[in-house]
Amino acid sequence: MHKVIIAILLICSVLLPAHAEGWYIAKNDSPTVMSEDGNWYMFLGKTVDGDMNVYLTSRNLFECSKSGPSQGMYVNGVKVRWYQNCDSDMGMYWYAYTPEGKKHLIGEFMRKQVVIIQDNNLTIQFSAKGFNEKTRDFINEIANPGL
């Protein structure tokens, strides 16, 4: 009986892979920082066109069926436009919508020790410690990829 149960669990684990908290972040090698409360990730990544973008996603997978509207959230007091998107792997996430917003957000992480994102009652605080060096390397690689 035990062997049957183990076989069923093994088959289920192969057919239905589990997505542990933060699994998407763990599988990519992008500069990442977790929020102070441990519920959010901010990471840098490349778009399909090879441009850099800044992504905000929750620690837990928020499943969604369609992309949402763009919205303004404040980054250290400056309003930045974000776009909500859905991804089959990542779930719901937001990305900085304009080039100016990306520059501001990355600049805040590079210059400040703390970055605060606010939207109505939601406040997400990030510490830039440990994020800056890898971020600089990532930005330099995109800006000057070499031959």
Give the model confidence (pLDDT) of 72-92 as tens digits: 999 999 999 998 888 877 778
Q: Which domain holds residue 69?
A: 20-143
Residue 35 domain-assigned (yes or no): yes
> Is the residue at 33 inside a domain?
yes
Q: Evaluate whether residue 26 is within a structural domain.
A: yes
Give the tens place of pLDDT for each residue, 5-22.
Answer: 454 444 434 433 444 444
Tell me the C-alpha to C-alpha distance, in Å, between residue 36 and each of 69, 116, 126: 27, 10, 6
> Per the domain annotation, does 39 fall within a domain?
yes
User: CA dist 89 to 55, 63, 132, Å?
Assistant: 14, 9, 26
Domain membership flag for residue 6: no
When divided into structural domains, the chain yields a total of 1
CATH code of the domain in which 48 resides: 2.60.40
pTM over 0.85: no
Residue closest to 31 by CA, chosen among 127, 144, 136: 136
